[in-house]
Every structure is written in C-alpha cells, then in structure tokens.
Chains A and B, each alone.
Chain A
Amino acid sequence: MPQQALQPPVSGVTARMYRHGLGDCILLAFASSEQNKAYYVMIDCGVMWGTRNETKVMNEVVQNVIDATGGEVHLLAISHEHWDHIGGFTRAKETFAGLKIHNLWLSWTENPIDAQAARLRVRFETHFTHLAQALKKSPVSTLRDQLNGVLGFYGGVNLGAADFSPLTREAMQDLLELVPPEQRSYLDPGGRPLALPSVNGLAAPGVSAFVMAPSRDESYLGRLEGRETYEDVGISPLTSFVMSVCKQPAVSDEHYEMHELSMPFREQVRIPPSKAARQTFFRDHYGFGKEAASVWRRIDHDWLDTAGELAIQADRFTNNTSLVIAFRLDKTERVLLFPGDAQVGSWLSWSDVSWMEGNGGSAKVEAKHLLESCVFYKVGHHGSHNATIRQRRGKAWGLELMTGPDLVALVPTNEDMAHKKGWFRMPFEPLLRRLNERTRGRTVRTDTGLADKPNLLSEAEWTAFRSNFEQTPLYLQFTIPDE
C-alpha cells in the first residue's frame, strides 16, 4: 500500500469523514480477504450549493480519496439526489477520471426501469417545475431567497431557461458514467443481508450490509403522493395552485376545462383587473397605482407564498428516498449506520423491515437489533432536528435505541454555512445534547472537530477512544476493530 493509504485494522473498519463543509463524503476501509489490501467503500460526495471555492474543495476531497485508496474504490453507495451528496461528481469531474469505481449501489427510487420509481419521478418533476414557475413569477424577494435556499439542495434553479432541470440531474449523470450499468445495483430494503461485492477476488468477509430504506410504502416518503398530478380526475389543491401559476393559453379543450374547474366562480362574475382599475369602488378601496394610500394593503403576491410549502414537500420527499445502509461487522456484531438524510418518515418505516440470514434464512434480524448494536452513527441531514428521531408511536426508537456503551457519532455539518443559508437550527442544539449524552461525549462535528475529554468518560475510555480517533484539517477518522 502507498504511503498515504487509508489502512483498516487487521479485522474491522476505519471510517473517514471529510470536513469539507455542509455536505457528505465518507470513505470506509474494511479489512479484506487479502493481506495488506483494503476493501474501500465510498458514500456520497458533495457539498452545499453556494459553498465558497466549491470546485477546489471538492477536488481536494476526491484527490484525497484517490491517494487513500490507490485510485480504486470497490463500492460506491449514493444516498440520495441532493447536491450536497452528489455535486462533487460534477465539480470534480476531471479528478474522478483518476478513480476507478467498481460497483455502485443506489436506492430503487433511482432505477430507470422500476415502474413505481418512474411514477414517483414524474410526480416529483411536475411538482418541481411548478415550484420553479412560482419562483420565476414571484417578485417577493424573501420568498425567492427562501425557495432558493431549499432548491440549493438540487443545485439551484436556472430561471432563465425555458425548461427547468435541476443540476443534480447532471451530477447524477456524471456519477453514473463512472460505473458501467451491469455493475450498478438498485436496492430494496429487507430480504437477505448483502455481502460487499467482490472485485477480482478481493472481498470483505465478515461484513454484512443491511438495506433499511427507502420503503416501497409511499406513505412514508412524504406528501407528494396522492391526487396531485394532471393524470387524476378532478382537480387537486396543487393543480389548482399550479393552473394559476402557469398561466398559458389553453392548449386543448381538456386544459381549458381544467382551468375553468380551478376557478372558484363562473366567468360572468369575474372582473379583469384592467377593468376593475377603472371602477370607483376598486380604485378607492384596493389601492391601484403606486401612489394610492392603501397600496401597503394590496395582496397581489401573497398567494404565491404557498410555494414554500411545496418546496419543503419536495425536499422532504427526496430526503426520504435516501438509501439507508447499516454495515455489520459479523464477528462482534458491531453496526455502522449511514442514514443519508433520511427524515422522520424513513426512520419510521424501518420497523416494517426485517432480514433473514443463516442457512435457509432461518434467523430473523430486525431494525431494532441493528440500532441496539450500533457503535458508529453518521448523523443524518447534517444534524437537523427531524432527521434523527427518538420515538415511534410513543415507544423509544431511533437514537433512543442506540444504547451501546461504545457509541460514537460523527456529524457532517457546518454551522456557518447553515446560518448563511438561513437555517438557524442546523445543527440542532437539543439533538447535539442528546447525542452527547448517548455517546458520553464522543460526538464529533466536522466543523468544530474534537473537543477536550468529556466528563462522562473515564480516563481509560478516553484513551481508548483517542487511540482509534484521528483528526486532520481535511477529515475525521475512526477505527472500529472487529474483535
């Protein structure tokens, strides 16, 4: 192995989390079937849209991955299609040319030939186009800022273009090009635990991967589902809103009909603004003209504010399509949990999943067991308040089940950037406090790094933790032996 190589322990795994900003990029080195060789798994690669020197930062990260792996990653897992998780594939496209990626894991929602995924995608894109239309139309700067903030997850919006397409699509294309189709797997939760795919005979024995989400049950994904697209009979709240945002000449009778259905009253009672402006009542009472006394009470654009709600729905939906993986070191049954940016809906869905293992699939593993054995938690969604949950139906769930004495949590976050985006609760203080209680101080943020010895740890525990932990300006690193 080269000098700078990331070396796993004799048995077990070393996890490296990059400190490049508000975004995820993680490299895992598992002990492999061959001596002096590691099995490398990379998870996500991106940083928040609008990060300073984004291209330079991402290139540094990818170059480090190349140096650490000798230019060969055996498995790449992508959690979800947000810029802060995949933007690096576009930003550091040239550098990626120097990295050989053998296998790619994606969630079933990314599968181009999956019917359910295709349906969801159509809904999502329709929803998204409308959002962009509302944004284009709204002169209200606060709303634009807010929307742009959320849309930053998709690589921003190009308002000039006639057709709207999030840049994340492009990033997805860039990353797909790195791995031939036959090496891509689209994963469903449950079934049998997966072995890491071997590459030219190199494997990672004694490691099982449990796919926990996204669920096929759409009620867990968020509120994009339901009667909210054109294909449905009748008219939905979203369609009604959209009909008015995207005012276009009626292209067909059907379109005209839909437009009429979205209007609250029949045509005879509608007075167009141009006409109303000439009527005494409206001139006196509405506030036409810039000089009118009651111009401050006009409501021309307030109705567009609901677009904010649509943006949140889109965001929540994508977060909940996160591929959630738990890697288990089989000998010690230690579990490393990578939930992507899964939000409440996803976490709740895990209890529906179970896995069969052993000969003939005789032993049943449940999400509960994995949480209880968790020793390494990649904190979801940069430490936001609703991407790590504590209960389900009034019973302890999520973080509250991670009761192991050795739990370590790493938080890929950047408070300055989050504040710049106007997200003042990222990372969420109460969550950080609870994480610190659960890990007894072994919660480390990528932006602030390791602090002094926490009070809750004994001297011996601290020394043990320190001996497995490493920190540089570029990354945090933690080793979990499987013995």
Chain B
Amino acid sequence: MLPLAPPPFRQLRVYAVDPSLDISLDLAGLNEVTLHVPWERDPETGRSSLEPGPVGEYLEVVDFDPASECFYAPVDLDDPFLLAQDGLAPGEGDPRFHQQMVYAVAMKTIRNFETALGRVAFWAPRQRFRRRQHEARGDEPSSDRDEFVQRLRIYPHALRESNAYYSPAKISLLFGYFPATSHNVRHLPGGIVFTSLSHDVIAHETTHALIDGLHDRFDDPTNEDVLAFHEAFADIVAIFQHFSLGEMLRNQIARTRGDLANENLLAKLALEFGQAASPGGGALRDALGEVDDDGVWRRATPDPAMIQGTFEPHARGSLLVAAVFDAFISIYRARTQDIIRIATEGSGVLPAGQLHPDLVNRLAEQAAKAAQHVLSMCIRALDYCPPVDLTFGDYLRALITADYDLVRNDDRGYRIAMVEAFRHRGIYPRDVRSLSPSSLLWSGPSATLRGELGRAVGTPSSRGFSLLQRIAAEWTLSRTRAQLYRRAQDWQAVLHGRLRPILARCARDLGLDQRLKFEIHSARPAQRVSPKGEISSDIVIEITQRRAAYLDPKQTAGPPDFWFRGGCTLLVDLRSGDVRYSVSKRITSEGRLERQRKYLRGETETSLHALYFGSSPINWPPEPFALLHRRGYEESS
C-alpha cells in the first residue's frame, strides 16, 4: 500500500472576530472562519505530534481558572471526531473550544512572523526577567546561561477582569473574562465576555510575546515611544490579520463599496471587548476614526501635532497604527485604480447600488494582497531596528530600508505611501536631512568597519570554514528549535571573541565605547524571499553596551540611578560576508542621555496608577504589560 503523505495543515474553526457578531443577523454567517495552521508532526513518522491541551512545538494551553478554583479538561485536537469536522464549532459554552481558538490564532500569528522574518520564532529565555529585576535593584546581573523556553504557555481563563496580558515573568499569556457592563444591544448585561475568544486580543498578546522573544530591550522604556511601539505593533498584527478572513473581507468591501477608508470592521480592534467594558463604547481601538459623543462614527483627520501631546502608550501607539493603516489605504487604492476604471468605463465613479460580486472579489483579492504585504513589511522591519531605545522615527527608517532591501524599485509606491502617512501623523526620524525614501534608508557602514568586521567573520579558520560558513551550515542542519537556540548562543560567544580585538578600531562606527564591556545580544540568521523569488540570507547581530547614569547630570559616581544603553544592529550577508547595515544608538551620545533623563524624571507620565504603583520607569514592575493594559482601560473609559 502506498504510504500517505502527512497533511500540510490542520484546519481549525474559530470566530472571525469574536462572539458578539453572532447575534448580528447580517454578519452571523461570516463569523466562523477555518484557519489553516501547520500540521505539527513527528519528523520521522509524519504523525501528529500535537498533544492534548493543545500542547505543541510552540504553545501549551493549560486551562486553569484560579478565580473559579477549577481546571478545565484539555481538548484533544487529534480526536477523529474533531479531525473530521475542523475542530469544535465556535461557541462560548465549552472551554475546549476556547483552547482550540487560542491555539489556532496564536499559531497563525507565529506563522506570519516566521514567514516574514525567514526563521523560526523563539520565546524570551526564562532568566531574562529575573535579570531585569536584578538590574532594577542595582545588583549585578546574574551570569546564568539563558534557558531555552520551548513553549509559550497560554491560560485562557486566568483572570476575572476585563484584561489580558503577556507576562514576561512567566512567559505566558493570561486571558481574562468578565461580565459585560454595557447596555449595548449586542450584549446581555452580565453575560460573560471572554477575551480568549477575541481574535484581536489573542493576536495582540501573542505578538507581545513574539517581540519580547526577538528584542530583549523593546519593553525597556527609555523614551515615550518604546512601550507605545510594543502596543502599536501588536495592534498592527491583529488588524492586518483581519484581511486574511476571506468572507469577512468580501462582506466589508461590499459594504463600504470598495472604499476601505469608510467605517469597517477590519480597521476595528477588539470589538466585543470595547463594547462590553465601557458603557456605550465602540471597539477598543479603531485605526480609522472614532464614535463621537452622539454615537456617530467619524473618520479622524490626521493631526501631526497630536503626537507631541499623547503619551499614554496605547494612545500614542494608536497614532503609529493609524499611520500604517493610512499607508495601507493608499496602497490599496493604487492597486485597485485600474480595476475601478475598468468597472466604471473610465469614469472612476461607481454606479449606485450594490457592487458586482466579481468586482468585490477582485477588490478583496487586492486588499488581501496589500494587507499581507504591509504586514510582512512591518514584521521584517523588526530586524532593521536598533537594539535599544527605539523611536517611531527609527522604525520608519527600518521599514523603508527593509523594504528597499527586498524590492529595489518601489514601482507600487509602498515606501512613498509609508513616508507620507507617517508625515501626516507627525512621525519623523530625528537624524535625517529630508523625508525622501532614499534619505531615510539606513546608511551603510564605513569602509573601516566593513573591512575589519568582514575579516573577523569571513576569514576561514584552521578547519577551513569561516564563522559565517559555519553559521550557515549549522543553521540548515539544526533539526529542532532547541538545537538552534543553543547553537545561536555558541555563535554569540564566538562573535564576541572575534569582535574584541577589533573593537578599538571600530567602536566609533558601531556606536560603542571601547572602554566598556560589550555584549553580543543576539545573532539571528534570516532568509527572505522577494516577490521576484530572489533569496537573500543575512545574519542579524545585535551588540549592546551600558554605562551607569544619573538623573542629576552633575553626578558622576555612586550607585547608578539607571543604566544608559547603546549599541548597534548589524546586518551581514551570510553568503558574501558583506556588512550591509550598521544601525546604531551611540552610547556616547550626551543628547540622547539627556532626553532619557527627562523621560525618566517622569515629565510625561500622567496616570494615577503610575503615581501609586508603577512608581517610575526606573523600577521594574512585576507585570509590565498588565499595568499597561489596565491603565489603558482606565483611561479609555
């Protein structure tokens, strides 16, 4: 008998948005969507390796509800009954469906990251958080080797409150449930709202965990953009994943008559959560506009001045989300101009009444494509960010450079659309001469750096391999994530040894101080495929340093008030050994230090929670994201 090939995907049903749409007649049919998540399998036999929970390669769902003092039995997605019908049908009453949904949506989010970045995803190591606490207390960080955390743990019913968060201390996602308070017609007052049934909340929190695994310092608030970026990015991922929901997309295109700049569900975030948590509320956030006091939705006009007065991380982050969404709208319009012209015989004015279903399909196809491009572009840019002290402006430069690397000529105008949209929101990089996409590109490294570093990593050893060749080979040969993780730790150690001798000559170009110790923060290979099918392989190396700093500029000795960090991200071509970019935040920059002092002195913080509990960004709170989320909720209501 011929052996059967293992299936590429496991099909699982989930809510497209969240349960609240189920009772709206016109949308009810669209609210169920079948996701294709990777078929997790044993490499030898091809059989499913997914255990009850679900517990797989990346995730483990453990359903403990401490407030109700009970556990809920794990779902077994390999049960033939479930395999035969794409998992359990969406519903609120069975905790096993909740487990299935968090698993499916989180896996899809992980998949999007891996595809865009061209490598497997890792979670943050267990020691990281403890190290951070040591630091906050001013102790020397412990030197334990990072422990690989294979799975992100997901607790679908961890909290009894209108909240959900990623816990870096437990490398876990904690989802809450709460009775609805609103008198909104969609809700039974007192009916229970589950954050673990909201596509957006799951995608958002999973993204927090993914960024945390990727960028150690992106939750280290050294300026007002850092935490806002974490939030914004998580929202961007949640929103753009909406566009892969085919039926919903077609419905919304038809409804907005092809103009996605009108009010639509795709641009709204966490609909049920927002409505249920505050009386008379709409979605938690909306990338396009807002509902005013009279309950009428209005498109928000971009105000470049707004960013200067907006500091609460969610609110500030939503400006970045709005900018990216605006760029998407422009791209979508550019991509559909011809279709509209054909459909309207050149007039560009659509006739009254419903759109032709074929036209809706074509528009939806373009929207989905544009959304996937924008999402990939956004994720890919993460590799082009400086390792510390990220600002929105830096991110814009990273976006432009990452896209330029993959698609040389911007014939679809993606980069111009991004720059334009960011400009309308008042988001500029601090250190460029003009806002043309070409001047926003990160500049290449100096000839010295290129030469020195190229030699350090490209010279063959006694065994005949250069370091880069070794990395490339080991990378391809690693069979499990755990193996790859440990190898990457070795690469970091070797890189450190290679860099030390050349530091004196390269310090300036790397933004480092040769007198200080340095750390190879990470070394991650990445393989990307351009739309034209060209493959490029890079290794992304992050180098960081820190020095003691004081709130009072005149102070120079004694226990530090905080650590001032600098360093750079290097992109090195894995094949040719060419150092392509060096994105640095100079550790020697007094101007940046002064800005950080200002920020840390709390000249921008406004929440009561911060006054009593959060104290100051210098102190490291036990659950940083929980604070962010609770606080966001408090202020939005």
Measuring CB to CB, which residues of chain A are less than 8 angstroms from any residue of chain B? Answer: 142, 146, 149-150, 223, 226-227, 233-237, 239-241, 244, 247, 261-266, 269-273, 276, 281-282, 285-286, 294, 296-303, 305-306, 308-309, 311-312, 315-316, 343, 384-386, 422-426, 428-430
Contact = CB atoms under 8 A, between A and B. Distances in A.
Contact of A241 (B65, B161, B169, B603): B161
A309 B190 contact: no
B612 A150 contact: yes
Given A264-B65, A265-B95, A273-B71, A306 B192 contact: no
Contact of B72 (A150, A234, A269): A269
A425 B72 contact: no
B328 interface: no
A303 B612 contact: no
25 contacts: A149-B612, A226-B279, A234-B179, A236-B179, A237-B161, A241-B67, A264-B192, A265-B94, A271-B71, A272-B71, A282-B62, A296-B170, A297-B153, A299-B158, A299-B174, A301-B66, A302-B159, A303-B161, A305-B626, A309-B630, A311-B612, A386-B608, A424-B602, A424-B619, A425-B610
Interface string B597-637: 00001110110111111011001001100100010001001
Most buried by A among B126, B157, B161, B601: B161
A14 B525 CA distance: 73
A186 B161 CA distance: 37
Interface stretch (B52-60, B362-370, B464-472, B482-490): B52-60
Contacts of A385: 605-606, 611
Nearest to B603: A430
B459 interface: no
Interface in B153-168: 153, 155, 157-163, 167
Contact of A302 (B71, B72, B623, B634): B623
A237 B62 contact: no
Contacts of B172: 297, 299
Contacts of B69: 244, 247, 272-273
B171 A297 contact: yes
B171 A263 contact: no
A285 B67 contact: no
Contacts of B602: 424-425, 428-430
A271 B167 contact: no
B605 A237 contact: no
Nearest to B153: A297
Nearest to B69: A273
A214 B616 CA distance: 31
A299 B95 contact: no
A270 B616 contact: no
Given A273-B71, A285-B62, A264 B623 contact: no
Contact of B71 (A227, A282, A384): A282
B70 interface: yes
4 interchain residue pairs of minimum CB distance = A234-B190, A270-B70, A276-B71, A244-B67
Given A146-B612, A305-B626, A266 B66 contact: no
A299 B155 contact: yes
A247 B71 CA distance: 17
A302 B637 CA distance: 23
Nearest to A319: B608
Contacts of A298: 170
A99 to B, nearest CB: 34
B64 interface: yes
B74 interface: yes
B194 A264 contact: yes
A299 B192 contact: no
B142 to A, nearest CB: 15
A261 B634 CA distance: 25
Contacts of B611: 384-386, 423, 425-426, 428
Given A271-B73, A300-B66, 17 more contacts: A142-B622, A146-B613, A234-B179, A237-B178, A241-B67, A263-B68, A265-B94, A269-B94, A272-B70, A276-B70, A297-B170, A302-B158, A305-B626, A306-B161, A306-B163, A385-B606, A422-B613
A297 B166 CA distance: 12
Contacts of B395: none
Contact of B170 (A150, A299, A316): A299
Most buried by B among A234, A384, A426: A234
B93 interface: yes
Contact of B93 (A149, A266, A386, A426): A266
Contacts of A301: 66
B413 interface: no
A309 B277 CA distance: 15
B7 interface: no
Most buried by A among B66, B169, B611, B634: B611
